[in-house]
């Protein structure tokens, strides 16, 4: 039984994938792991790169680009994780890696990131999920690395711009938890799928990612399902990982469409049934207006750029 099973979803980022895999295989410490790269129908040199330079990787060359959760589920199944533990033979879960890691190819790991994150979860048996401090190339914090769930209230503050106007407010700054010191480890609602380490038992209990999402929201949905099952989620400020982010999807109409579609899907799935009608109407209207404005701005800029199926994380 391995300590860790790593799934990396790639879409037309061979240079970044090479750098990411190089950093993974440079990891230090007493840790056993296997790596599965799922190529989301890139139709470029990505698969050949993996086959020639990283033969130890388990490669899945998907014939379709089904999105981030679809591709991650392919990789998780290759590692032995099924849709649920209900139909698995007795004791089968004990043969799975102790943890699964969803990792974007636009990340670069320091040598001790993997063992340190595994040790962090080992020390917290109540935790299903943990993520590190993600930083951008300029050294700034990737705000998506620690988040609250986008409840109607939190989404309303985000859509109305209050989270940007009052980032230090514990009330208005909950979307990206900007009121918390980035140097402090904390229990959070969710971390981002760019680096999301998940306990085996939690995956067996709640199942795999929801493939109705395409490239946003699925990590939040997964974390919420686990928290509702009684698990905790942690942001580990002691481990720092570089996240290039937005390598090919900045200002993409597809990216903006999927971002706001995910907000609506998440709301309908988790909050619509218990939200007052007037507030629900405001949330949906806000999603439509903000999404429409974002896509209109992209149309003015020119033709949409390509979009990363592993997703920039907003």
- Per domain, the residue ranges of the chain are 4-150+176-243, 253-301
52, 60, 77, 210, 211 from 73: Cα distances, Å: 25, 11, 6, 9, 8
pLDDT at position 248: 44
- Calculate helix-pair angle for 152-159, 277-301, nearest 10 degrees: 40
CA separation for the pair 159, 172 (Å, rounded): 11
Closest-CA residue to 261 (of 221, 214, 295): 214
pLDDT at position 304: 46
For 295, counting Cβ atoms within 10 Å of its Cβ (0-12 exposed, 13-18 middle, 19+ buried), the class is middle
**Is the alpha carbon torsion for 85, 87, 93, 98 positive or negative?**
negative
pLDDT at position 302: 64
178, 194, 220, 263 from 256: Cα distances, Å: 22, 18, 17, 11
pLDDT at position 89: 52
CA separation for the pair 238, 264 (Å, rounded): 34
Out of 3.30.413.10, 3.40.50.2300, 3.90.550.10, 3.90.340.10, the CATH code matching 4-150+176-243 is 3.90.550.10
pLDDT at position 35: 98
CA separation for the pair 241, 264 (Å, rounded): 30
Tokens for 306, please give them: 């390509």
Strand-strand pairing, 99-103 and 4-10: parallel
Pure H helices in the chain: 14-25, 46-53, 68-78, 113-122, 152-159, 162-165, 200-206, 218-228, 253-270, 277-301
pLDDT at position 292: 84
pLDDT in tens, the chain (314 residues): 899 999 999 999 999 999 999 999 999 999 999 999 999 999 899 999 999 999 999 999 999 999 999 999 999 999 999 754 434 454 566 779 999 999 999 999 999 999 999 999 999 999 999 999 999 999 999 999 999 999 988 988 887 889 999 999 999 999 999 999 999 999 999 999 999 999 999 999 999 999 999 989 999 999 999 999 999 999 999 999 999 976 545 546 788 888 889 989 999 999 889 988 888 888 888 888 888 888 788 777 765 444 444 333 43
Look up the pTM and report it.
Answer: 0.89
**Is the alpha carbon torsion for 292, 294, 298, 301 positive or negative?**
positive
Spell out the residues 6+ positions from residue 309 whose beta carbon is closer than 8 angstroms to its own: 9, 11, 40, 65, 66, 67, 68, 71, 215
pLDDT at position 69: 96
């Amino acid at each position: 039984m391995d300590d860790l099973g790593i799934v990396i979803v790639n879409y037309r980022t061979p240079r970044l994938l090479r750098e990411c895999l190089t950093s993974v295989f440079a990891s230090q410490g007493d840790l056993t792991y296997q790596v599965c790269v799922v190529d989301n129908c890139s139709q470029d040199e990505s698969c050949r790169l993996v086959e020639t330079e990283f033969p130890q990787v388990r490669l899945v060359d998907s014939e379709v680009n089904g999105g981030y959760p679809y591709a991650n589920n392919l990789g998780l199944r290759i590692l032995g994780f099924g849709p649920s533990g209900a139909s698995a033979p007795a004791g089968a879960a004990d043969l799975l890696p102790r943890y699964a890691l969803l990792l974007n190819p636009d990340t670069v790991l320091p040598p001790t990131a993997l063992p340190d994150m595994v040790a962090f979860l080992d020390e917290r048996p109540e935790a299903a999920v943990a993520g590190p401090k993600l930083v951008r190339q300029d050294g700034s914090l990737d705000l998506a690395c620690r988040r609250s769930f986008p409840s109607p209230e939190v989404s309303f503050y985000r859509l109305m711009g209050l989270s940007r106007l009052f980032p230090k407010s514990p009330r208005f700054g909950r979307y990206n938890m900007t009121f918390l010191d980035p140097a402090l480890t904390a229990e959070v609602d969710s971390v981002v799928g760019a680096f999301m380490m998940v306990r085996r038992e939690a995956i067996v209990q709640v199942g795999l990612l929801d493939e109705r999402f395409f490239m946003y929201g699925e990590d939040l949905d997964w974390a919420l399902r686990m928290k509702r099952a009684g698990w905790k989620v942690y942001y580990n400020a002691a481990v720092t990982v570089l996240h290039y982010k937005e390598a090919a999807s900045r200002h993409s109409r597809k990216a903006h469409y999927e971002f706001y579609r995910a907000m609506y899907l998440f709301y309908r799935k988790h909050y619509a049934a218990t939200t007052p009608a007037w507030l629900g109407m405001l949330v949906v209207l806000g999603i439509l207006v903000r999404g429409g404005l974002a896509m209109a701005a992209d149309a003015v800029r020119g033709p949409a750029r390509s979009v990363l199926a592993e997703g920039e994380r907003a």
